Amino acid sequence: MPVQETAKLNVRKWKDFDPANNQCVKTVPQLMGIVPAHFADTMHVLHEEYGLNRFNWNLGCPMAPIVRKRRGCGLMPYPDEVEAVVETACNLPYRFSVKMRLGMHSVDEGLEIVSRLNNYPMEFIVIHPRLGKQQYEGKPDLNALARLLALTKHRVIYSGDVFEMSDYQILSRRFPQIDAWMLGRGLLRNPMLAEQIQEVATRNDDSSQFNNFCGDKDSFKKEKLLRFNEFYEDLKQTLTAYRGINGTLPVLKELWHYFAHSFQLTEEQLHSLLVIQTPDAFDKAIKRLLTPDF
Ligand SMILES: Cc1cc2nc3c(=O)[nH]c(=O)nc-3n(C[C@H](O)[C@H](O)[C@H](O)COP(=O)(O)O)c2cc1C
CATH code, domain with 78: 3.20.20.70
Same domain, 24 and 142: yes
* Ligand 1 pocket, residue 72 CB under 6 Å: no
* Ligand 1 pocket, residue 186 CB under 6 Å: yes
What pLDDT shows up at residue 281?
Answer: 97
Structural domain ending residue among the three candidates 161, 179, 210 = 161
SS3 279: helix
* Ligand 1 pocket, residue 42 CB under 6 Å: no
Does 199 fall in a domain? no
Same domain, 124 and 244: no
Report the DSSP beta bridge partners of residue 131. Answer: 103
Does 258 fall in a domain? yes
The atom of ligand 1 lying closest to the CA of 60 is 11
Structural domain ending residue among the three candidates 134, 161, 188 = 161
What residue numbers bound the domain in which 86 lies? 6-161
Domain count of the chain?
2
Same domain, 31 and 156: yes
* Ligand 1 pocket, residue 171 CB under 6 Å: no
* Ligand 1 pocket, residue 99 CB under 6 Å: yes
Same domain, 103 and 248: no
Does 247 fall in a domain? yes
What pLDDT shows up at residue 266?
Answer: 94
Same domain, 38 and 119: yes
Same domain, 36 and 108: yes
* Ligand 1 pocket, residue 191 CB under 6 Å: no
What pLDDT shows up at residue 202?
Answer: 81
Same domain, 58 and 155: yes
> pLDDT tens digits for the chain (294 residues)?
999 999 999 877 887 888 888 888 888 999 999 999 999 999 999 999 999 999 999 999 999 999 999 999 999 999 999 999 999 999 999 999 999 999 999 999 999 999 999 999 999 999 999 999 999 999 999 999 999 999 999 999 999 999 999 999 999 999 999 999 999 999 999 988 998 899 888 876 555 555 555 445 566 678 888 889 999 999 999 899 888 999 999 999 999 999 999 888 999 999 999 999 999 999 999 999 888 665
Does 115 fall in a domain? yes
> What type of residue is 136?
Y
Cβ atoms of 75 and 109 within 8 Å: the answer is: no
Does 204 fall in a domain? no
What pLDDT shows up at residue 209?
Answer: 52
| Cα 17 to middle of ligand 1, angstroms | 19
Same domain, 45 and 154: yes
Spatial CA neighbour of 112 closest among 141, 155, 69, 83: 83
> What type of residue is 167?
D
Mutational test site, ligand 1, from 185, 188, 255, max ligand atoms within 8 Å of CB: 185
Does 183 fall in a domain? no
The total of other beta-carbon atoms located within 10 Å of residue 95's CB is 16
Does 211 fall in a domain? no
Q: Which helix (H) or strand (E) covers residue 272, if one does? A: helix 267-274
Same domain, 17 and 83: yes
Does 128 fall in a domain? yes
* Ligand 1 pocket, residue 133 CB under 6 Å: no
* Ligand 1 pocket, residue 185 CB under 6 Å: yes
Same domain, 129 and 271: no
What pLDDT shows up at residue 67?
Answer: 98
Structural domain ending residue among the three candidates 133, 161, 189 = 161
Same domain, 114 and 20: yes
The model's pTM is: 0.89
| Sign of the dihedral defined by the CA atoms of residues 164, 165, 171, 177, in that order | positive
- Distances in Å between the Cα of 113 and the Cα atoms of 34, 125, 158 are 15, 11, 17
The Cα–Cα gap between 293 and 279 comes to 24
Same domain, 13 and 138: yes
The Cα–Cα gap between 139 and 170 comes to 14
Mutational test site, ligand 1, from 14, 16, 59, 61, max ligand atoms within 8 Å of CB: 61
